[in-house]
Structure 1
């Protein structure tokens, strides 16, 4: 007896295990409907979807009702309401979803036999399959297939009872709008590519109308900017012409696709996110342009020479404003991306596909944008550590320059001869340079001359002291720091260095050139008066 119980226990547990792992068990499925036709195939998820499409083409909604789990509907109402719910569900699916047929398996257990290890259900039978997710007013609604087995029948795939419960609300939200219902029946027939005639003809008209609205908005804003007498208002209006026109065009498209007409899933899946992207992007673009105009108006340094030593505070302010602009733009981009993702559910429904390719996509985008991202981060780094400020006098790769602008991806340098250097920010931040303005603007310029060994250094020192009194006193620094030293000596002569204290690094080069001219002239006068060579007399071959 014990042996019989031992062998009977696993056998009796098999139905319960099947109900838990392979299908949902019910006593009966849709008892209020007449028996389904033999050709109605519900054995696999793909077969159920194909049966729904075939029934819709024949307008056989009575047969399509067998593809729904009507457990929550009273038995006496299942025949009438089932056909109506099947028609409404097919309308919602055709208009608001893009079914990925590769994810709908054509086998009874819906097992993904060739799936990768990244998919958690790969290699396991499934009894529920999510097709799409649609947003209702308060919560998201799933379009899902369940595998159900009645006590007196084989397991079949039908739309879940939760999906059936949400069909009326989904149809009310995503079904034909009041304007579509007013269209002639001929325009509601199928045209091509799964679209109806009104969609096939209305989409080009919608695009043309959106373009016309955008153009009208541009003209209107331009007209307002020409009529205003306030410079700030005029500049703001001119800066928002682009975002206002794009926003008007995309807002029209968004209203049409969300309130007036409900396009098929092939169009709506692309058009609706694009419209949301245009609306959100244009609003953020408008905000950025307006803020830029206001900042340019109240923090305009174009008429101020930031290279002067008296403008240290303004140099710091200009650099910080440039950094704040970059941070503001980056923040706006992040906020805009977040708003677009929250307002569209395309990525939510295609999430598995995107997640599956996320690693490769991230690598590709990261590799392609690594220089741009690196330049942006480097520009933020320069702005924060203030290694170079707008207006600073620097020596970059043996070029004497002023820092004119620190942009997102490049630094604009003004060379002393008027030419401009455009240097990628990442390269600029990773290359050492001399900053003559940093911390203390006063500096020593060293004038190096090669003099003969018999040259009188004391006479040169006296001449240098006299020259200091002839130079512009406002451009000179602390004269106690001035000195003359013999720094080196060889067979050709000795190196005499003249230390010139300069108050302003921006004029130090010109001041050093002027002092060098006077020193050379004074040395020549000393040589003439004393009959002693001041500079070495060597041939080019000896100098080499």
Structure 2
């Protein structure tokens, strides 16, 4: 029994040890590439060559190439795909070309490279799912040539039992000729004297002079295009083409500036990556912004043409369907702006390679950004949503007459964040959309523009209502702004001791016309009463006693009599006489 058990335990131990050895071998293979030799044709690397970590390897390469020691910098390239003779001949050339590509094609942030020998992924690197995992490949940059992407990377290699080293990968060296053709020295740089090729800070001497000249020339081109577009707009016949040409002056100038700057970078001058990388981002953003703005201006021009053709003057005299059309066009404009902004953002993110590294960080902190944007832009976002709500529900339309906080106003425009109202006296009220929809307002054009108006006259009790009713209908029917004559009404709506209130009702096709008709009919009624029945005016009734009549007192005398003073009242009370009169 003991012998079979011993054999069983031995087999288990052997299996476990084999598994551990295989796992250890797999782990070693994931930490480096095993090679027979590294750059045997170059000999032993000097002491200044540092290759222990990705950061050391790239920094050492940049320092050596900046000192133009390309032969030593070749030790940081994996030249194993070349023969021993080719390694010695082409190593320095490839190092020089790669240095030019890195200097002009992409600005590499050394602090972003790992300083660990195994390049272990850290949690703060944006790859939390791989945190704690060692790497044998680290990407430096991705460059594009003729719509082809080339990845620049460093890899870890080990020869036998020697320490593993980090070198520029052979795949990167294969792409150097194509990359150098695009990102190599420009035509202008080939004519610059050698003494201006030295560096001051992050740029070379000639770049400190060339960059301001580059910006000045680009700005002059944009200013010229802006002026030519203005001249073209003035030469075009009055109408939509001239308006559209005037509207796209600024975006067209920026687009031409971006294209001109890109042409200079491609064929005339090439700056260092620390300038080129952000400049490329700015040019792409300007191009996308300019194209998007032209698209919005095209929609604006279409909106102007449609409003002039189908709607005309913005008020509630137009048909309801026409006001709905104009409101829908304004909503379409806001939708186009929103889609354009999103499209430009997606295009920029897709085109700018710098966003590849920022994308993961932004996505990882999306919840934080959402909260910050929501808090900071709460008012703006609320106004935008309220604007879409107003446009979709048609609670108000362009051209509607509304009474908002006591102001009679026409809805002139509905924008993203505010509504523009035109008052009857041609003033403009700019009201935030959220504030407008949160307050009660009266839409006099919600169903139709017709409106009742009321004329109230206070007359003596002796006024003949039937006569006034006939005259009111006569005057009202003579007015062009009075409609639906069968709804003309006249009633006694109030009575006091000596007067009565008579109300007259008429209807106009729209609010302002009804108000004007009301004013004109009121004038005619007052003139009729003044000329034919002045006794109908309210008057004061004075009752005289027999004593007043015996004295010959009259209402006129009573009104002329001055009031008695306190002293006169006291004396008359003492003597029994009345106070003296002005007579």
Question: Normalising by structure 1, what TM-score?
Answer: 0.82
How far residue 388 of structure 1 moved from its aligned partner, in angstroms, is: 1.8
Residue 220, structure 1, aligned to residue 228, structure 2: yes
| Alignment partner of 1:92 is 2:98 | no
CA-CA distance at 1:278 after TM superposition: 2.5
1:215–1:527: structure 2 CA closer, same or farther, 3 Å change rule?
A: closer
1:121 matched to 2:130: yes
**In the TM superposition, what is the alpha-carbon distance from 1:52 to its structure 2 partner?**
0.8
1:198/1:356 CA distance change after superposition, 3 Å = farther
Are 1:195 and 2:195 an aligned pair? no
Asked whether the 8 Å contact 2:187–2:267 carries over to 1, the reply is no
- Give the superposition deviation at 1:205: 0.6
Q: Which one of the candidate residues 466, 469, 477 is aligned to 2:474?
A: 469
CA contact (8 A) 2:34 2:157 kept: yes
Q: Distance in 1 between matches of 2:173 and 2:318?
A: 76
What's the offset of the Cα at 1:241?
A: 3.0
Question: Retained in 1: the 8 A contact 2:126–2:360?
Answer: no
The alignment status of 1:503 with 2:506, answered yes or no, reads no
Q: Deviations over 1:461-489 (max 9, x none)?
A: 87456424322554334344455789999
**In structure 2, how many angstroms separate the alpha carbons of the residues matched to 1:531 and 1:230?**
61
SS in 2 for 1:414: strand
Query: Secondary structure of the residue that 1:441 maps to in structure 2?
Result: coil
Query: How many residue pairs are counted as aligned between the two chains?
Result: 530
Q: CA deviation at 1:194?
A: 2.0
8 Å Cα contact 1:347-1:354 kept in structure 2: no
| RMSD, aligned CA | 4.0
Q: Which moved more, 1:11-20 or 1:203-212?
A: 11-20
- The yes-or-no answer on 1:271 pairing with 2:287 is no
Per mean C-alpha deviation after superposition, the further-off stretch among 345-354 and 458-467 is 458-467
- Alpha-carbon deviation of 1:424? 1.4
In 2: Cα distance, 1:283 partner to 1:106 partner: 43
Matched, 1:36 2:45: yes
Q: Is the radius of gyration larger for structure 1 or structure 2?
A: 2
Alignment partners' CA distance in 2, 1:104 and 1:129:
8
How far off its partner does 1:264 sit? 0.9
Change (3 A) 1:112 1:118: closer
Query: Residue 541 of structure 1 aligns with which residue?
Result: none
In structure 1, the partner of 2:413 is 405
**Larger mean Cα displacement after TM superposition, 343-352 or 125-134:** 343-352
**Equivalent position SS for 2:157:** strand
Question: Do the aligned partners of 1:464 and 1:519 also contact (CA within 8 Å) in 2?
Answer: no
Q: Greater shift after overlay, 289-298 or 520-529?
A: 520-529
- In 2, distance between residues paired with 1:523 and 1:230? 55
Using the TM superposition, give the Cα deviation of residue 521 of structure 1 relative to its aligned residue in structure 2, in angstroms: 9.4
Q: Does 1:145 align with 2:145?
A: no
Structure 2 unaligned regions, length at least 5: 1-9, 541-583
Partner of 1:66: 75
* Residue 448 to residue 338, structure 1, CA distance change in 2 (3 Å): farther
Tell me the equivalent position of 2:120. Answer: 111
Deviation at 1:204, TM superposition (A): 0.6
Q: Is the 8 A contact 1:280 1:336 kept in 2?
A: yes
What corresponds to 2:423 in structure 1?
415
Q: How far apart, CA to CA, are the structure 1 residues paired with 2:107 and 2:538?
A: 99
Give the secondary structure class of the aligned counterpart of 2:203: coil
- Deviation (angstroms), 1:321: 3.2
User: CA 1:393/1:488 → structure 2, altered by over 3 Å: closer, same or farther?
Assistant: same
Name the residue aligned to 2:432.
Answer: 424
Instruction: Describe the shift of the 1:531–1:328 C-alpha distance in structure 2 as closer, same or farther (beyond 3 A).
Output: closer
Say which is worse superposed, 25-34 or 201-210, in terms of deviation: 25-34
Q: Is the 8 A contact 1:19 1:25 kept in 2?
A: no
Which residue of structure 1 lines up, in the alignment, with residue 394 of structure 2? 386
Deviation of 1:407 (Å): 3.0
Following TM superposition, by how much is the alpha carbon of 1:74 offset from its aligned partner in structure 2, in angstroms?
A: 4.0
Q: Distance in 2 between matches of 1:319 and 1:96?
A: 50
Q: Aligned partners of 1:421 and 1:337: how far apart in 2? A: 33
Within 2, Cα distance between the matches of 1:497 and 1:464?
10
Distance change >3 Å, CA 66–CA 354, structure 1 → 2: farther
Q: Give 1:179's aligned residue.
A: 188
